[in-house]
Amino acid sequence: MAFELLSFEVDTDGIALVTVRRPEKLNALNAAVISELSTAFRAVQEDTQVKGLILTGEGVKAFIAGADIAEFAGLSAVEGERFSRQGQAVFRQLEALRKPSVAAINGFALGGGLELAMCATIRIAAEEAKLGLPEVKLGLIPGYGGTQRLPRLVGKAKALEMILAGSMLTARDALQCGLVNAVVSQDGLLGAAREWLTKVLLNGPLAVALAMDTIEAGLEMSLEAALRLEASAFGLAVSSQDGIEGTSAFLAKRKAVFTGK
């Protein structure tokens, strides 16, 4: 796979590190970056050797400072809607991976940058990171899922507060409202992301995928329907080879060997 604006590396544990590399524009997402991200997410989805994903930005200043504002000039309403839908679809690829992912937020995560980070399974931020959806300052609104995922993550009141003011949160404030899961030093950022993924990857892969799916789909359902979904997924897990292996290993006081079946 040849990328110009991303680097894509897979380590021996099967963790893919995808780095957006456009530091001179604070890693802003132009059409070329979005297209390469789509290719990278598809590769992660299809490659059975890849177990998890870390997404970050090059340098220490920015994770991703948003969609490339230069590409908004002259868009008609129809083109603007298409622009939004195309980006949403690529971001959804990350969210819908049946593999855990971490956004390692190394600096500014603004607009499309924060919207992309919200599609990762969890977010870990460096102390210096700043996060926000500043689109209203440009006379725009978030168009890559921000109006929908931010309230789902932090609640309606906090999302309205952030989106209407277009203000940036510090990493600590983002931690306090649940937008990020942890704050660490810049030097420790990729290590912390790897540490969490490594812990997850020791567990039954089928169970991890089922838990992700059930949480994701269940949040969009009534509690009654979601509980039914959970019960079906539990049935699948408990009767899977991994479920049988995990429970037998516990009872036999030995370490489980999971196969993802």
Q: Which residues are catalytic?
A: 115, 135
Query: DSSP 3-state assignment of 49?
Result: coil
Token representation of residue 256: 């489980």
Which span (104-112, 121-129, 178-186, 215-223) binds ligand COA, by CB under 6 A?
104-112
Q: Residue 69 or 175: which CB sits closer to ligand COA?
A: 69
- Supply the minimum distance, in Å, between the C-beta of residue 42 and ligand COA: 25
Cβ of 250: how many Cβ atoms within 10 Å? 11
Question: Which pair of tokens denotes residue 76?
Answer: 């008609």
For residue 50 the two structure tokens come to: 């890849």
SS3 18: strand
Q: How many CA atoms lie within 13 A of 190 on its CB side?
A: 16
Size of the site for ligand COA (CB under 6 A): 16
Among 134, 146, 205, 243, binds ligand COA (CB under 6 A): 134
- Window of 61-69, 77-85, 145-153, 247-255 that interacts with ligand COA by CB under 6 A: 61-69
Q: Which of 110, 129, 163, 208: binder of ligand COA (CB under 6 A)? A: 110
Give yes or no for residue 73 binding ligand COA (CB under 6 A). Answer: no
Residues whose CB falls within 8 Å of the CB of residue 51, separated by 6 or more in sequence, listed in order: 13, 14, 15, 99, 197, 201, 205
Would you say 72 or 234 has its CB closer to ligand COA?
72
> From the CB of 25, what's the least distance to ligand COA, in Å?
4
Distance CA 203, CA 19 (A): 26
Which residues would be at the binding site for ligand COA (CB under 6 A)? 25-26, 28, 65-70, 108, 110-111, 134-135, 138, 140
